[in-house]
Amino acid sequence: MSAGQHSAPAAGARTRWRRWRRARPFTAGLLIALGGAEMLVTLRAPLGVLLHVGPQGLAAYLVPLILVICGVLLITTPQQRVFYAVVSLVLGLVSWLTSNLGGFLIGMLLALVGGALAFAWTPVKRRAPRAGPAATPADATPAEATSADTTLAGATSAGTAPGPREPVDGSAPTESLDALLSAEPGPPRHTRAERG
């Protein structure tokens, strides 16, 4: 195998990873999860002095744990990003009182920045392909597109320019709506039933 064959699957995997990452607030979820994990680490850190401000016990572990869960859920279900962003922002502020001053301020800042990024994130919209003035409709079959092209080519090769349209009989069922609407007003025509 050559080096080019090895690089092709790697480039395809990198492209798929980039597309998957851009379809969700990946950076925001990662920052929120890191902030919660940092708060949990500071609670269990073997430091000589730990700051204990506010209610301890269950709330000290519950707030960082919910932050980690919110970060993971932001990545897996980006449709609910506004809810997870608001919860992360509120819990990031609450962690100042419950979890060693928000994990010595680092975890709280990570959670707040991640929540703000998640709240501001919008999904990328794919651009629709622009159609030119002479483009055929997308739902037209190849036969219809070919017949339209040959009709147009025949009209231009004959040198005939489209002129004013003739008045159309409104009682004829085979006439198109476009022809009926563009018909010039004129004297009323009599049908066979009226003549007889």
Instruction: List the chain pLDDT tens, one digit each, 196 residues.
Output: 555 566 678 888 999 999 999 999 999 999 999 999 999 988 877 766 555 555 567 888 899 999 999 999 999 999 999 999 999 999 999 998 888 888 889 999 999 999 999 999 998 776 666 665 554 445 555 555 455 455 445 544 545 555 555 555 555 555 555 665 666 666 665 555 555 5
Q: What is the Cα–Cα distance from 111 to 38, expressed in whole angstroms?
A: 10
Residue 186 identity (one-letter amino acid)? G
Q: With contact defined as beta carbons under 8 Å apart, do 134 and 148 qualify?
A: no
Q: What is the Cα–Cα distance from 189 to 137, expressed in whole angstroms?
A: 37
> What's this model's pTM, rounded to 2 decimal places?
0.59
Q: Where are the beta strands (DSSP E) in 47-192?
A: none
Q: What is the Cα–Cα distance from 9 to 54, expressed in whole angstroms?
A: 53
| Structural domain spans, the chain | 25-120
